[in-house]
Amino acid sequence: MKKRLEILVKGNVQRVGFRNHAAEIAVELGITGSAAYVDHDILIEAEGNAEQLDSFVDWCRKGPAGCTIESLEITETILLHDSKFVIVHGLIISSEHIAQ
């Protein structure tokens, strides 16, 4: 059964190619969704079956060379039935950051 996860990756994750590597791994695993910078973190939305997502989350816990993962926040969300995995370019500033 398919499900969708929102994965917030916190740590030293910028300027190490995290989004590009995440996209490559997602495509290899057959996962759809997106990866974007949010504040100083990476927000990944990943959709696939449980086995695919387990493998992807395992990769996210390590990330590419040069990064340091402090934590992952994983939330199951509603399926959006994406057709591919995309990299969202630019920086998204969260509403929490704007409110401060």
Query: From first to last of its 100 residues, what are the pLDDT tens digits of the chain?
Result: 999 999 999 999 888 889 999 999 999 999 999 999 998 899 999 999 999 999 999 999 999 999 999 999 999 999 999 999 999 987 666 544 433 3
Q: How many domains does the chain have?
A: 1
Model pTM?
A: 0.88
pLDDT for the residue 99? 39
38: tokens are 């949010």
* CATH number of the domain that residue 78 is part of: 3.30.70.100
Domain that holds residue 48: 2-99
Q: What local confidence, expressed as pLDDT, does residue 15 receive?
A: 82
Q: How far is CA 27 from CA 20, 46, 83, 87, 94, in A?
A: 11, 11, 11, 12, 27
